[in-house]
Amino acid sequence: MKNLFIFMKPYKKQIILGPIFKLLEAIFELLIPTIMVLITDKGIKSGDTIYIFKVGGLMAFMAILGVSASFTCQYFASIAAQGFGTRLRNGLFEKIQSFSFYEIDEFGTASLINRITNDINQLQLALAMFIRLAIRVPFLCTGGVIMAMFLDLKLSSIMLLSLPLFLFALYLIMSKSTPLYGLVQKKLDKLALVLRENLTGIRVIRAFGMETYEKKRFDNSNEDLLNTAISVGKIVNVMNPVTNLIMNASLIAILWFGAIRVNNGALTQGKIIAYINYTTLVLSALIIVANLVIIFTKAGASLKRVNEVLMTESTMKDITNYKEVKSENAPIIEFDNVSFMYKGAGDYSLQDISFKIKKGQTIGIIGSTGAGKTSIINLIPRFYDAVKGKVIIKGLDVKKYKKEELRNMIGVVQQKPVLFTGTIKDNIRWGLENASEEQIEKAAKIAQAHKFIESMKEGYDTVIFHGGVNFSGGQKQRLTIARALVKNPEILILDDCSSALDFATDLELRKALKNNTKDMTVIMVTQRITTIKNADMIIVLNDGKIEGVGTNDELMESCVVYKEIYNSQLQKEDEDEKEDVI
């Protein structure tokens, strides 16, 4: 909760003044029935028209003041609630940005999206309601009861009796519905997940003709949400009929006993009208309380979810007492007995990995799918932390670097190319904010992207649509390579990023990389022997373990797994050649 106050702080004025204005309105509202007594008992009885107009005018004046106070409060409530929501969304977004992949994996993207939108909306609504009603309603209730007691103490016992009844009903309903609201939000997360998967994978779904299956999955998830929402609805919707029942039963009792007291002459006609007005005021305020309780219970569930994000500290904190002790002579990258497991996975994805890479070397990492290649390179820019052992860059543990400094040294081209909405130029500039046109073009040339970019009508200003859908797989790969190259990083990591390129382009790419990355340490992850055959060092991975480290020739001598991969691919190439001849 303390977390949330920080986001409300700039709106202190509105949050304090808003309820005060609403209180003013409530005071006028409370006074009006008593003034009515004056009109009925004094004005109407004695037929004093001037008196009626005078008091009536006063009532109208008070009504105008009341409405203006109410407007002011509404205005403050909107500013505070919208402002608070915006700040909280920004805060949450910033927090999520600080998360490592661990935390993001744990919450799940769909849930994070829901928390930053839906849950914050609930909190925003709750704050607006708080400003508008939280002070006014209790004031109207107690004020109404007191005013009614002044009018007729005996009759007030009916009202006082109905209150505990009402509170008891409220308690019952709340205690049953509160746990269900958290569940509704969870089901909403599930639905968002299904929807997200469906929309991002729509092409695959169409290709496999899985529309019916997907529709069923969505229907199930939707129905699940519906059922939970209905069970909450069933409980909560008892609230209004019950409060109405209590209210109307009290009114009947008051009219019944009131009429007897009027007949006895113990109560005037004006007073009974005012009395009924107060009872309605108090009981309708209680109905508002009931609705407020629903809003606050919902907000409570959302508050918990938002707080969970705010309270989660990234497992990868930036060090504060930063001292540069890296050494240029040490190996540029060293894995010292590293083991790694993804959160929730039962098994290690990497085990006892040790190797050293010297500055300027070209390294190949090869292994079958699922061998752990991507996992290894994820540890270098500290996307994840090793569970055991150390990842050392220039003699310094990656955990001792400032994340920004570490990542500035490294250019990563990920296995799945991700581009953002904007022009080609904008996307390449992600690598280097103020890259000149020449630098961009040079990077694109090395990445073998220049030709196809040039052939487009808009060239480097061609707009990339959401998710890069207007580019082919190979084109996207080359654009992401250019993006990493423009940064001119010390370490360049290419994760299987020529997989969608034809052999000729792949060859051109490797040649260009070789000629233009002399001082760069390049790590190429691949499944193709030809890509890394000439590398200075090749790391062979199998099932999360290192099978061999060395040059092509060394590995052909000593590493069975490498030899198998080599032979299987070489044989295939021979066969391909034969087919070509035929």
What does 342 bind: Mg ion, ligand TTP, none (CB cut-off 5 to 8 Å by kind)?
Answer: ligand TTP
**CA separation for the pair 536, 520 (Å, rounded):** 13
Structure tokens at 130: 């708080």
Q: Which stretch binds ligand TTP (CB under 6 A): 209-217, 278-286, 341-349, 395-403?
A: 341-349
Binding mask 349-388 for ligand TTP (x = CB under 6 A): x-----------------x-xxxxxxx-------------
Among 156, 374, 439, 521, binds Mg ion (CB under 5 A): 374
Among 198, 269, 339, 415, binds ligand TTP (CB under 6 A): 415
Nearer to Mg ion, 206 or 416 (CB): 416
Nearer to ligand TTP, 185 or 477 (CB): 477
Residue with tokens 């992600």: 430
Q: What angle in degrees, to the nearest 10, is found between the helix axes of 12-37 and 49-98? A: 160
CB proximity list for 116: less than 8 A, separation 6 or greater? 89, 92, 93, 96
CA-only gyration radius of the chain, Å: 36
Instruction: Using alpha carbons, select from 549, 496, 523 the residue that is nearest to residue 409.
Output: 523
**CA separation for the pair 519, 488 (Å, rounded):** 10
Among 102, 257, 342, 383, binds ligand TTP (CB under 6 A): 342
The answer to whether 34 touches 271, Cβ cutoff 8 Å, is: no
The burial of 201, by beta-carbon neighbours within 10 Å (0-12 exposed, 13-18 middle, 19 or more buried), is given as middle
Give the nearest distance from C-beta 496 to Mg ion in angstroms: 6
Nearer to ligand TTP, 185 or 374 (CB): 374
Nearer to ligand TTP, 371 or 413 (CB): 371
Nearer to Mg ion, 317 or 416 (CB): 416
Give the nearest distance from C-beta 542 to ligand TTP in angstroms: 10
Q: Which stretch binds Mg ion (CB under 5 A): 110-118, 173-181, 408-416, 453-461?
A: 408-416
Give the nearest distance from C-beta 368 to Mg ion in angstroms: 11
Site for ligand TTP in 464-503 (CB under 6 A): 496
Nearer to ligand TTP, 342 or 355 (CB): 342
What does 372 bind: Mg ion, ligand TTP, none (CB cut-off 5 to 8 Å by kind)?
Answer: ligand TTP
**CA separation for the pair 100, 81 (Å, rounded):** 30
Nearer to ligand TTP, 41 or 385 (CB): 385
What b-and-e string marks burial along 473-487, b requiring 16 or more CB atoms within 10 Å of the CB? ebbbbbbbbbbbbbb
The answer to whether 541 touches 365, Cβ cutoff 8 Å, is: yes
What does 345 bind: Mg ion, ligand TTP, none (CB cut-off 5 to 8 Å by kind)?
Answer: ligand TTP
Give the nearest distance from C-beta 384 to ligand TTP in angstroms: 8
Instruction: Using alpha carbons, select from 432, 448, 451, 560 the residue that is nearest to residue 503.
Output: 448
Give the nearest distance from C-beta 6 to Mg ion in angstroms: 41
The burial of 508, by beta-carbon neighbours within 10 Å (0-12 exposed, 13-18 middle, 19 or more buried), is given as middle
Residue with tokens 């909306």: 121
What does 109 bind: ligand TTP, Mg ion, none (CB cut-off 5 to 8 Å by kind)?
Answer: none
Q: Which residues bind ligand TTP (CB under 6 A)?
A: 342, 345, 349, 367, 369-375, 415, 496
Q: Which residues bind Mg ion (CB under 5 A)?
A: 373-374, 415
